[in-house]
Amino acid sequence: MAVKIRLKRFGKKKAPFYRVVVMDGRAKRDGKALEEIGIYHPLNNPSIIEINSERALYWLSVGAQPSDQVRKLLTLTGDMGIHQGDKNAKSTVELAAGKVSAEDQIKAHADAAEKLKAAKAEENEKAKKEAEAEAKAAEEAAAAEAKAAEAEKPAEEAPAEDAAAEEAPAADAAEAEEK
């Protein structure tokens, strides 16, 4: 069976989009495919070309023949160069302005996670410092209260001793009178 990698057309009149498919060479253009390995939207600016490189390389390695248009797409994605043994083959597909490559998305997500983690660690550190400062302030306040309480106790005890001293001569005088 002659296997071909070609485009399968979808969309309405004057607005086509394609799927890159692997199919029997004898099948109709829009017939049943063995496998879909990518998409191609030529009307977008820049054109959207997404091809599963792993599967494309597999089918090329087992002898599937790409159509002329698919050969050009595989050259743009770098898969044709890799299949032919070019170690430096790279994708030259332009991404849409708002679109970011998968690798860049992963890096951006990892960076955002690191920033969030650092911010939480900083918050926790700040909270610990505040708690330590509050504990220290509470300890100092308790020590100040204890000092104030100590200062008041001798002042309260001193008049009591004075009163006892005043009572003592009166008691001595009362004892003297009894005798």
**CA-to-CA distance for 38 and 74, rounded, in angstroms?**
11
Q: How large is the average pLDDT for residues 33-40?
A: 90
Domain that holds residue 27: 3-95
pLDDT of residue 128: 92
Look at the chain and report how many structural domains it folds into: 1
Q: Is residue 53 part of a domain?
A: yes
- Give the residue carrying structure tokens 């390389």: 57
Q: Is residue 16 part of a domain?
A: yes
Contact call for residues 2 and 25 (beta carbons, < 8 A): yes
Residue 22: phi, psi to the nearest 5? -105, 125
Residue 102 is assigned to a structural domain of this protein: no
What b-and-e string marks burial along 126-155, b requiring 16 or more CB atoms within 10 Å of the CB?
eeeeeeeeeeeeeeeeeeeeeeeeeeeeee
In a domain, 123, yes or no: no
CATH of the domain at 84: 3.30.1320.10
**Residues 157-166 pLDDT 10s:** 555 555 555 5
Q: Give the pLDDT confidence of 45-100 residue by residue, as tens digits.
A: 888 889 888 899 899 889 989 999 999 898 888 888 888 777 777 777 776 656 66
